């Protein structure tokens, strides 16, 4: 007897982008233990949980130690005390009505954006922006929704919407009829955004073509400019065509604590093979209740505390701190003649590399000569070649130190 594997996995690149970067950095550090490496690769935060979150978290753990207040399994969709705060704080002020049973609390936007494709047929055509958060692509490859990677580093069957300096990082609408469109705004990796008008054209496209937009808004709290939508549901009619993903990871330092949520509107319909419309909200609920047992009670209490008056203030201070880092990175790199994008409504800075250097070579130069880790643009897709992503999530000291080291490099 032989056990057959899911051969779609063989179509994937050898390792997940951030695992490959970690491997290269570890290898270099082992060979050069005396070097002090500054990590600006993966978008992981450096600031701890804020005091009001820690207080709520701790008291919820205490509740778990007393049989009178102990909690076992919670609702798979999350506790309503958190869902209510989400609706009240993240959507009501935008004039967006979300009901409790449209909110699905989870342990991460990565998992949700990865898992959502399960409720859609394998024959659907998928469009991604290029460069792209690789999870959207890899999970569709794993599911068998694509062919092999071609010599242009694109998976057959996937529709790529290039976003480069040439088009101002505004993806063109798909020329063909696509079923699922992944949009991440503010964008990971480019740090750029779309205006309401630009996003509206995607919503209009989705309505016309009966497509669904999978809208990843994990970086929403970093938006500073006024014409940038915080939620896709700010666009009229978007509840009929979009699922939105949000996260506490980058906003409130929950990368290790794990909490996020996904909005699946009840208006949202998919179609079965007989042409009957089906509720995507019901399908996702069925998926989650079967495969997921909810986020732990203390974590949800901690997430709810991010919406307290004190919590909001403390979190905003951290976001401002990271955005100050972003400003330093943008300013310093411009001073040395590099073109940089993003970093205004996002913690990511997308750096255009000098002509003739490919992004993995630049990654190596940066690691070995400046001891700074970035993420090579090519790792996010073919249109990322020629760019490098830096994050603003390090400490202020390290950010300044990294910029000094980079300024001393000679790229020629």
Residues that bind ligand MLT (CB under 6 A): 42-44, 110, 133, 188
* Residue closer to ligand MLT, measured from CB, 231 or 391: 391
Number of Cβ atoms within 10 Å of the Cβ of 14: 6
Distance between CA atoms of 366 and 405, rounded to whole angstroms?
A: 9
Q: Is 389 helix (H, G, I), strand (E, B) or coil?
A: strand
Phi, psi (5° rounding) for residue 98? Answer: -125, 135
Q: Shortest Cβ distance from residue 1 to ligand MLT (Å)?
A: 38
* Residue closer to ligand MLT, measured from CB, 202 or 219: 219
Q: Shortest Cβ distance from residue 26 to ligand MLT (Å)?
A: 17
Distance between CA atoms of 281 and 180, rounded to whole angstroms?
A: 16
* Residue closer to ligand MLT, measured from CB, 109 or 206: 109
Q: Shortest Cβ distance from residue 101 to ligand MLT (Å)?
A: 27
- Which residue intervals of 125-195 are DSSP H helices? 134-143
Q: Shortest Cβ distance from residue 242 to ligand MLT (Å)?
A: 20
Q: Is 125 helix (H, G, I), strand (E, B) or coil?
A: coil
Q: Shortest Cβ distance from residue 231 to ligand MLT (Å)?
A: 19
* Residue closer to ligand MLT, measured from CB, 294 or 384: 384
- The closest residue (CB) to ligand MLT is 43
Distance between CA atoms of 369 and 39, rounded to whole angstroms?
A: 14
Distance between CA atoms of 190 and 387, rounded to whole angstroms?
A: 9
* Residue closer to ligand MLT, measured from CB, 163 or 280: 163
Distance between CA atoms of 332 and 328, rounded to whole angstroms?
A: 6
* Residue closer to ligand MLT, measured from CB, 296 or 346: 346
Q: Is 196 helix (H, G, I), strand (E, B) or coil?
A: helix
* Residue closer to ligand MLT, measured from CB, 80 or 255: 255
The structure tokens 């996003």 sit at 199
* Residue closer to ligand MLT, measured from CB, 87 or 303: 303
Distance between CA atoms of 259 and 86, rounded to whole angstroms?
A: 12
* Residue closer to ligand MLT, measured from CB, 133 or 387: 133
Distance between CA atoms of 95 and 85, rounded to whole angstroms?
A: 15
Q: Are 403 and 333 in contact (CB under 8 A)?
A: yes
The structure tokens 């242009």 sit at 152
Helix 297-305 vs helix 51-64: angle between axes, to the nearest 10 degrees? Answer: 150
Q: Shortest Cβ distance from residue 42 to ligand MLT (Å)?
A: 4
Residues in the chain: 412
Q: Shortest Cβ distance from residue 17 to ligand MLT (Å)?
A: 8
Q: Shortest Cβ distance from residue 249 to ligand MLT (Å)?
A: 6
Q: Shortest Cβ distance from residue 212 to ligand MLT (Å)?
A: 22
* Residue closer to ligand MLT, measured from CB, 114 or 409: 114
Q: Shortest Cβ distance from residue 255 to ligand MLT (Å)?
A: 7
DSSP 277-324: EEEHHHHHHHHHHHH-----HHHHHHHHHTTSHHHHHHHHHHHHHHHH
Ramachandran class of 157: left when φ > 0, alpha when ψ lies in -120 to 50, beta otherwise: left
Residue 278's contacts (CB-CB under 8 Å, 6 or more residues apart) are: 269, 270, 271, 272
């Amino acid at each position: 007897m032989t056990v057959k594997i899911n051969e779609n996995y063989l179509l994937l690149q050898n390792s997940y982008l951030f695992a490959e970067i970690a491997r290269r950095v570890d290898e270099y550090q082992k060979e050069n233990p005396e070097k002090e490496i500054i990590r600006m690769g993966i978008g992981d935060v450096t600031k701890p949980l804020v005091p009001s979150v820690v207080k709520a978290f701790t008291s919820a753990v205490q509740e778990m130690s007393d049989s009178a207040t102990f909690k076992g399994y919670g609702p798979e969709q999350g506790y309503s005390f958190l869902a209510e705060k989400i609706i009240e704080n993240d959507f009501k002020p935008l004039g967006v009505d979300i009901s409790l049973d449209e909110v699905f609390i989870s342990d991460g936007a990565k998992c949700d954006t990865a898992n959502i494709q399960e409720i859609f047929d394998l024959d659907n055509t998928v469009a991604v922006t290029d460069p792209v958060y690789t999870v959207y692509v890899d999970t569709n490859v794993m599911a068998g929704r694509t062919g092999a990677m071609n010599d242009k580093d694109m998976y057959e069957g996937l529709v790529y919407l290039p976003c480069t300096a040439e088009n101002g990082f505004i993806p063109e609408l798909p020329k063909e009829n696509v079923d699922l469109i992944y949009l991440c705004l503010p964008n990971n990796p480019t740090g750029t955004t779309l205006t309401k008008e630009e996003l509206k054209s995607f919503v209009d496209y989705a309505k016309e073509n009966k497509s669904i937009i999978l809208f990843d808004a994990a970086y929403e709290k970093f938006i500073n400019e006024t014409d940038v939508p915080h939620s896709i549901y700010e666009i009229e009619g978007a509840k009929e065509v979009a699922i939105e993903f949000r996260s506490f990871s980058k906003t409130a330092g929950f990368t290790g604590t794990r909490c996020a949520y996904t909005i699946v509107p009840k208006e949202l319909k998919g179609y079965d093979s007989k042409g009957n419309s089906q509720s995507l909200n019901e399908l996702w609920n069925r998926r989650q209740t079967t495969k997921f047992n909810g986020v732990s009670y203390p974590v949800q209490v901690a997430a709810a505390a991010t919406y307290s008056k004190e919590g909001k203030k403390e979190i905003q201070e951290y976001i401002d701190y990271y955005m100050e880092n972003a400003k330093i990175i943008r300013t310093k790199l411009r001073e040395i003649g590099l073109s940089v994008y993003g970093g205004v409504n996002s913690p990511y800075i997308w750096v255009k590399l000098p002509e003739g250097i490919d992004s993995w070579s630049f990654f190596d130069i940066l690691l070995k000569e400046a001891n700074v880790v970035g993420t090579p643009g090519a790792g996010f897709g073919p249109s990322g070649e020629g760019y490098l992503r830096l994050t603003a999530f390090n400490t202020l000291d390290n950010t300044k130190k990294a910029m000094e080291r980079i300024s001393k490099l000679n790229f020629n």
